[in-house]
């Protein structure tokens, strides 16, 4: 029989080859698990007719100033500063930021130190014979250890990328909360202005009906009318006064709603002055609206970052199929008693790699990867649905404003005609040429026409506020450092299919700068 002797370097090479072969042959397989879903570009959804280019401007952050009431931007600023909804969003960002720090720490070596002192009476009939058995001894143990996960397959880097994406999504969610809150304050404030305008109409109506009542009393004295007409006039006055009281109640309730939006108690709402908003101006949509909307709506940005976070989750799950290699080393002293504790003979040195091979896991890793792909598909569908909703939101607001503009001319002409008819009816009634019923009918028509015009004006301003919200409320992903790179070749954090950082410091820096890629890259990363 021939024997074969290997040198130390040869033995190490053979051992490395065996480990590599074992890893390749033994790793669980994720073949066949993929996704064909991808985020949809805005150009995929036809909107040229509904959202034509009109050379308009995107809303700015100070959009509330355009309504000419200094109280409105002050109320919005107060709401953004003290509302619990914003505080909750900020807490979610802080939590996401802590995940980044946790994920980043996994990229660095760990160093630990320990010391223990034990006083023990050893049994005379056990492991240790005399002189140790039956004697008290003190054992001192001091150890400094270090370990480092080599992260050869980028698992830890993908966790960092996922954490960065989640933080970006949380920041975009906070911006969405700010936009929604600001629009809600403006909408409620406009509602308060509408109620005050209707209250002015109600007060004028009371005076008009009191005038009719005075004319009726004179006609009763003259024998031209009966007590029936007198009681009818008195009833109409009481009805108008009841309507005024109802509006006062609605005004008070709306003030309480504003106080709640400001994050204050109900008494804060009672201190809000009567609104003095300017009439609504013309509306012109910005050019290239569908394409640019994806960077102007914070809810779209949040959904996009969530998709990017899932791509990192998928890469992390794939890295779980490959072996983990950790380097560990330790140095310390271990001795009975104090005399020889810190001597060279008490040294304790250990070093070596640790390899974890997922050989057979009964399908657990494949199930985990399938779950990550399912989450990816759900987030892609959520983004696409959010995009569809955003486009339709803008189109709906624009269509409503156009409809009101078309109605306004007819409504104003109806008001002018009914006002003239009412004035003529009063003259004829006072002169005894027409009955009371004709005056009351003309008054009712004039009142309805005036309320219609007022409601149309206020509703148009409310829809203009809704359009500002639909266009992102002044949010700009580029200015907020939340833009998702559109370059298909932009690197993502990590390796194994995307350009990764070479060092832990580079990993943390590149994560914030390029944690997301374009639609093409996201789809490719998910299916690779």
Please report which confidence band the pLDDT of residue 432 belongs to, taking 50, 70 and 90 as the band edges. confident
Residue 498 scores a pLDDT above 70: no
- Contact between 164 and 515 under an 8 Å Cβ cutoff? The reply is yes
Q: Which residue has the higher pLDDT, 202 or 121?
A: 202
Range in 128-132, 171-175, 446-450 the model is least confident about: 128-132
Residue 515 scores a pLDDT above 90: no
Which pLDDT score, from 0 to 100, does residue 25 have?
Answer: 44
Residue 58 scores a pLDDT above 80: yes
Residue 20 scores a pLDDT above 90: no
Give tens-digit pLDDT for 348-400.
Answer: 888 888 888 787 778 888 898 999 999 999 999 999 999 999 999 999 999 99
Q: Which residue has the higher pLDDT, 87 or 214?
A: 214
The Cα–Cα gap between 493 and 503 comes to: 12
Q: How far apart are the first and last CA of the chain?
A: 51
What is the H or E stretch that residue 332 is in? Answer: strand 324-336
| Residue 140, φ and ψ in degrees, nearest 5 | -110, 135
- The average pLDDT across 302-320 equals 91
Range in 113-122, 330-339, 452-461, 509-518 the model is least confident about: 509-518
Q: What is the 3-state secondary structure (H, E, C) of 180-246?
A: HHHHHHHHHHHHHHHHHHHHHHHHHHHHHHHHHHHHHHHHHHCCCCCHHHHHHHHHHHHHHHHHHHH
Which pLDDT score, from 0 to 100, does residue 185 have?
Answer: 96
The Cα–Cα gap between 520 and 487 comes to: 9
- Dihedral of CA atoms 170, 171, 177, 178 in degrees, nearest 10, equals 170
Q: Tell me the Ramachandran region of residue 126: left when phi exceeds 0, alpha when psi lies from -120 to 50, beta otherwise.
A: beta
Which pLDDT score, from 0 to 100, does residue 396 have?
Answer: 95
Please report which confidence band the pLDDT of residue 345 belongs to, taking 50, 70 and 90 as the band edges. confident
Give tens-digit pLDDT for 260-294.
Answer: 999 999 999 999 999 999 988 889 999 999 999 99
What three-state secondary structure class fits 149? strand
Which pLDDT score, from 0 to 100, does residue 352 have?
Answer: 80
Residue 138 scores a pLDDT above 60: yes
- The average pLDDT across 4-21 equals 49
Range in 27-31, 59-63, 196-200, 498-502 the model is least confident about: 498-502
Give the residue extent of every domain in the chain.
67-107+151-322+358-527
The Cα–Cα gap between 522 and 314 comes to: 11
What is the H or E stretch that residue 495 is in? Answer: none
Which pLDDT score, from 0 to 100, does residue 462 have?
Answer: 96
Q: Which residue has the tokens 């640790």?
A: 354
Residue 484 scores a pLDDT above 80: no
Mean pLDDT of all residues belonging to the chain? 84
What is the CATH code for 67-107+151-322+358-527? Answer: 1.20.1600.10
- The average pLDDT across 214-222 equals 92
Give tens-digit pLDDT for 163-180.
Answer: 899 999 999 999 999 999
Contacts of range 266-273, beta carbons closer than 8 Å, 24 or more positions apart = 272/71, 272/75, 272/192, 273/71
The Cα–Cα gap between 374 and 367 comes to: 10
- The average pLDDT across 172-189 equals 95
Which pLDDT score, from 0 to 100, does residue 456 have?
Answer: 96
In angstroms, what CA-CA distances link 3 with 13, 100, 450? 19, 56, 110
Residue 421 scores a pLDDT above 60: yes
Which pLDDT score, from 0 to 100, does residue 323 have?
Answer: 86
Please report which confidence band the pLDDT of residue 485 belongs to, taking 50, 70 and 90 as the band edges. low
Please report which confidence band the pLDDT of residue 297 belongs to, taking 50, 70 and 90 as the band edges. very high
């Amino acid at each position: 029989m021939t024997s074969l002797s290997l040198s130390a370097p040869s033995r190490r090479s053979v051992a490395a080859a065996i480990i590599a072969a074992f890893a390749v042959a033994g790793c669980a397989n994720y073949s066949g698990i993929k996704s064909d879903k991808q985020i949809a570009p805005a150009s995929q959804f036809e909107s040229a007719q509904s959202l034509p280019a009109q050379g308009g401007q995107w809303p700015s952050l100070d959009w509330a100033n355009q309504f000419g009431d200094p109280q409105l931007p002050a109320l919005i600023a107060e709401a953004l500063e003290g509302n619990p909804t914003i505080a909750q969003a900020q807490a979610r960002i802080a939590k996401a930021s802590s995940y980044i720090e946790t994920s980043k720490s996994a990229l660095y070596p760990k160093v630990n130190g320990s010391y223990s002192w034990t006083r023990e009476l050893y049994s005379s009939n056990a492991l240790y014979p005399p002189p140790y058995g039956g004697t008290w001894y003190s054992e001192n143990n001091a150890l400094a250890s270090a370990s480092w996960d080599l992260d050869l397959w980028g698992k830890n880097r993908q966790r960092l990328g996922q954490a960065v994406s989640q933080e970006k999504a949380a920041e975009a969610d906070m911006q969405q909360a700010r936009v929604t809150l600001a629009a809600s304050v403006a909408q409620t404030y406009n509602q308060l202005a509408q109620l005050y305008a209707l209250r002015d109409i109600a007060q004028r109506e009371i005076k008009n009906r009191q005038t009719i009542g005075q004319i009726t009393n004179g006609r009763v004295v003259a024998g031209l009318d009966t007590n029936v007409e007198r009681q009818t006039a008195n009833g109409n006055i009481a009805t108008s006064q009841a309507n005024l009281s109802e509006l006062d109640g609605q005004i008070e309730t709306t003030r309480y709603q504003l106080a709640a939006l400001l994050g204050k108690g109900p008494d804060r709402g009672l201190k809000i002055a009567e609104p003095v908003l300017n009439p609504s101006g013309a509306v012109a949509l910005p050019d290239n609206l569908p394409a640019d909307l994806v960077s102007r709506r914070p809810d779209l940005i949040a959904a996009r970052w969530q998709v990017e976070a899932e791509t990192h989750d998928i890469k992390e799950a794939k890295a779980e199929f490959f072996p983990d290699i950790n380097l560990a080393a330790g140095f310390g002293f271990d001795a009975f008693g104090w005399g020889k504790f810190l001597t060279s003979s008490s040294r304790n040195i250990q070093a070596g790699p640790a390899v974890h091979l997922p050989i057979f896991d009964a399908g657990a890793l494949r199930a985990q990867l399938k779950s990550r792909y399912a989450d990816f598909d759900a987030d892609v569908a959520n983004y696409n649905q959010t995009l569809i909703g955003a486009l339709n939101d803008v189109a709906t607001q624009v269509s409503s404003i156009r409809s009101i503009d078309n109605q306004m001319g007819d409504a104003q002409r109806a008001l002018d005609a009914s006002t003239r008819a009412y004035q003529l009816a009063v003259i004829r009634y006072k002169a005894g040429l027409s009955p009371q019923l004709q005056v009351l009918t003309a008054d009712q028509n004039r009142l309805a026409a005036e309320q219609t015009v007022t409601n149309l004006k206020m509703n148009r301003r409310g829809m203009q506020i809704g359009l500002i919200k639909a266009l992102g409320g002044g949010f700009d992903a580029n200015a907020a450092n939340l833009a998702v790179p559109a370059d298909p070749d932009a690197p993502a954090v990590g390796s194994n299919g995307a350009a990764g950082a070479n060092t832990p410091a580079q990993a943390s820096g590149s994560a914030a700068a390029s944690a997301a890629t374009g639609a093409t890259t996201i789809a490719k990363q998910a299916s690779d």
